[in-house]
């Protein structure tokens, strides 16, 4: 059986598949050529991340395809139900990258709380001639301890965010349509652990009471955070979106940043990705990363191994 890992797969994942009799191709095939490539090579399993789209045209045109795998959580780039209706197995790796995304959330929060994103832009330009001025500009940072973080969407990633927040001495509240009560176990390097029960609140309560807000929800048909929601937030709140582009109205976000209502934003996902708005990219109060939440060596190894295990289980 032949596996096409069109958006890549870790070497440990490749080796595990090959050791179990699969041929693995890691060539990156352009979207408009992928149907022909799958058919010419009799591809059995197509593995993607977020770049490759697996829509009805591929599903209908590729009779050899028996499995579609998504290395990551969200599967909005795959017509999942349609594939299943055609007898194609669809898998993903929902837990493998949770810690990596959560750590990136806090990288943005800490960066913005101490103005590192802007300081790192300006120090190379002015650090040698305006050192004292820059020191004054960046002298009003804030600590995380005793602040409240509101987590919208409390699945695997949201819970990993909560663990880091507790480690920083923060108060954690969350809003979720499906969960009512969750116990968070924070484990330490020496085997000790401590458990917490964060407070479930309504979305409005979360918006009103949070010093920091982070979103961990799937793609939405309409904005989850728009003018009405921004207006309810505390003055000086920080917000991070490492979930999906389009859950926040970025135009409204910029308006509220410019007004001073929102202190900063950290964005790893964007509307119109992979062509974010230039207004978003140029705003000095937004910390920016190019959708790299799961892009750590450790997460990629876990994703590759988890995909390999599921494929082996399905076909062996």
Tell me whether residue 117 is one of the annotated catalytic residues.
no
Tell me whether residue 273 is one of the annotated catalytic residues.
yes
Of 160, 291, 302, 306, which residue is the catalytic one? 291
Residue of 289, 293, 306 whose CA lies nearest to 102: 293
In the block, residue with structure tokens 């929601």 = 229
Within 10 A of 284 (CB to CB), how many other CB atoms are there?
Answer: 11
The strand pair at 67-70 and 89-92 is best described as parallel
Output the CA–CA distances (angstroms, integers) from residue 101 to 72, 97, 105, 210, 243, in the order listed.
11, 6, 6, 20, 9
Q: Rounded distance, CA 226 to CA 223, Å?
A: 6
Of 108, 117, 216, 244, which residue is the catalytic one? 244
The 8-class DSSP code of residue 92 comes to: E
Of 18, 63, 273, 314, which residue is the catalytic one? 273
Tell me whether residue 108 is one of the annotated catalytic residues.
no
- What's the token pair of residue 86? 């055609």
CA 308 from centroid of its chain's CA atoms: 22
The catalytic site residues sit at 244, 273, 291
């Amino acid at each position: 059986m032949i596996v096409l890992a069109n958006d890549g797969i870790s070497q440990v994942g490749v080796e595990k598949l090959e050791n179990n009799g699969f041929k693995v191709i890691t060539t990156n095939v352009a979207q408009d050529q992928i149907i022909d490539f799958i058919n010419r090579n009799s591809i059995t399993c197509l593995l993607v991340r977020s770049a490759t789209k697996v829509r009805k045209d591929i599903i209908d045109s590729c009779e050899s395809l028996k499995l579609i795998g998504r290395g990551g959580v969200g599967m909005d780039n795959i017509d999942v139900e349609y594939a299943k209706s055609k007898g194609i197995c669809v898998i993903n790796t929902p837990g493998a990258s949770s810690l990596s995304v959560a750590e990136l959330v806090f990288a943005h929060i800490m960066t913005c709380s101490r103005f590192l994103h802007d300081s790192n832009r300006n120090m190379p330009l002015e650090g040698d001639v305006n050192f004292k001025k820059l020191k004054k500009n960046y002298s009003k940072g804030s600590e995380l301890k005793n602040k409240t973080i509101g987590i919208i969407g409390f699945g695997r990633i949201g819970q990993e965010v909560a663990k880091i927040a507790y480690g920083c001495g923060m108060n954690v509240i969350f809003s979720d349509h499906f969960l009512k009560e969750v116990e968070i176990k924070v484990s330490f390097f020496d085997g000790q652990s401590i458990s917490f029960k964060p407070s479930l609140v309504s979305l409005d309560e979360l918006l009103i009471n949070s010093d920091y807000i982070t979103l961990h929800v799937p793609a939405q048909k309409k904005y989850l955070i728009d003018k009405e929601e921004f207006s309810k937030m505390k003055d000086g709140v920080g917000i991070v979106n490492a979930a999906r582009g389009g859950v926040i109205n970025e135009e409204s976000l910029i308006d509220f940043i410019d007004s001073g209502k929102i202190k900063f934003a950290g964005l790893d996902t964007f509307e119109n990705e992979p062509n974010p708005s230039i207004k978003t990219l140029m705003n000095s109060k937004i910390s920016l990363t190019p959708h790299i939440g799961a892009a750590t060596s450790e997460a990629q190894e876990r994703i590759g191994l988890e995909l390999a295990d599921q494929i082996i289980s399905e076909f062996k």
